[in-house]
Amino acid sequence: MRGVGVLEFGGPEQLQIVDLPEVHAGAGEVRVRVHAATVNPTDTGLRTGSRAVSMAQIEPPYIPGMDAAGVIDEVGPGTVTSLAVGDLVMAMVIPGGSHGAYRESIVLAADSVVRAPEGVSHAEASTLPMNGLTARQSLDQLSLQPGKTLAVTGAAGCYGGYVVQLAKADGLRVIADASSADEQLVRDLGADVVVPRGNDIADQIRKVAPSGVDGLADGAVQAELAVGAVRDGGGFASVRGWDGTGERGIIFYRTMVRDYDHRSDLLDGLRQQAEAGAITLRVLATYRAEDVAQAHIRLEAGGTRGRCVILF
Ligand SMILES: NC(=O)c1ccc[n+]([C@@H]2O[C@H](COP(=O)([O-])OP(=O)(O)OC[C@H]3O[C@@H](n4cnc5c(N)ncnc54)[C@H](OP(=O)(O)O)[C@@H]3O)[C@@H](O)[C@H]2O)c1
Whether the pLDDT of residue 56 is over 90: the answer is: no
> Which ranges of 86-189 does DSSP label H, i.e. alpha helix?
122-126, 129-142, 158-169, 183-189
CATH number at residue 251: 3.40.50.720
Say if 263 falls within a structural domain: no
**What integer is the mean pLDDT of 138-158?**
98
Do 7 and 107 fall into the same domain? yes
- Give Cα 177 distance to the centre of its chain: 19
Residue 176 CA to residue 285 CA, distance in Å, equals 25
Instruction: Please report which confidence band the pLDDT of residue 58 belongs to, taking 50, 70 and 90 as the band edges.
Output: confident
Do 58 and 136 fall into the same domain? no
Do 143 and 116 fall into the same domain? no
Do 90 and 161 fall into the same domain? no
pLDDT digits (tens, 9 = 90+) for 93-124: 999 999 999 999 999 999 999 999 999 999 99
Do 252 and 226 fall into the same domain? yes
Instruction: Please report which confidence band the pLDDT of residue 31 belongs to, taking 50, 70 and 90 as the band edges.
Output: very high
Amino acid at 9: F
By C-alpha distance, which of 25, 38, 22, 29 is closest to 70? 38
- Residue 160 alpha carbon, nearest atom of ligand 1: 16
Say if 269 falls within a structural domain: no
Mutate to test the pocket of ligand 1, among 163, 239, 281, 296 (most ligand atoms within 8 A of CB): 239
Q: What mean pLDDT is reported for the chain?
A: 97
Do 306 and 199 fall into the same domain? no
∠ CA 10-286-164, rounded to 5°? 90
Cα 80 to ligand 1 centre (Å):
37
pLDDT digits (tens, 9 = 90+) for 228-267: 999 999 999 999 999 998 899 999 999 999 999 999 999 9
Amino acid at 162: Y
**What integer is the mean pLDDT of 280-294?**
98
Do 94 and 186 fall into the same domain? no
Do 301 and 224 fall into the same domain? no
pLDDT of residue 5: 97
**What integer is the mean pLDDT of 140-147?**
98
Instruction: Please report which confidence band the pLDDT of residue 54 belongs to, taking 50, 70 and 90 as the band edges.
Output: confident
Pocket of ligand 1 (CB under 6 A): 40-42, 131, 134, 154, 156-160, 197, 219-222, 239-240, 255-257, 302-304
Say if 273 falls within a structural domain: no
Whether the pLDDT of residue 53 is over 80: the answer is: no
pLDDT digits (tens, 9 = 90+) for 199-236: 999 999 999 999 999 999 999 999 999 999 999 999 99
- Residue 40 alpha carbon, nearest atom of ligand 1: 15
Instruction: Report the number of distinct structural domains present in the chain.
Output: 2
Do 141 and 220 fall into the same domain? yes
Domain of residue 227 covers 131-258
CATH number at residue 87: 3.90.180.10
Three-state DSSP state, 236: strand
Strand ranges for the chain from DSSP E: 2-5, 16-19, 29-39, 67-75, 88-92, 105-109, 113-115, 149-153, 173-178, 193-196, 213-218, 230-238, 251-254, 283-288, 307-311
Say if 274 falls within a structural domain: no
The 3-state DSSP composition of the chain as helix, strand, coil percent (nearest 5) reads: 30, 30, 40
Do 306 and 188 fall into the same domain? no
- pTM assigned to the model: 0.98
Amino acid at 87: D
Do 121 and 215 fall into the same domain? no
Cα 160 to ligand 1 centre (Å):
7
Cα 169 to ligand 1 centre (Å):
22
Say if 70 falls within a structural domain: yes
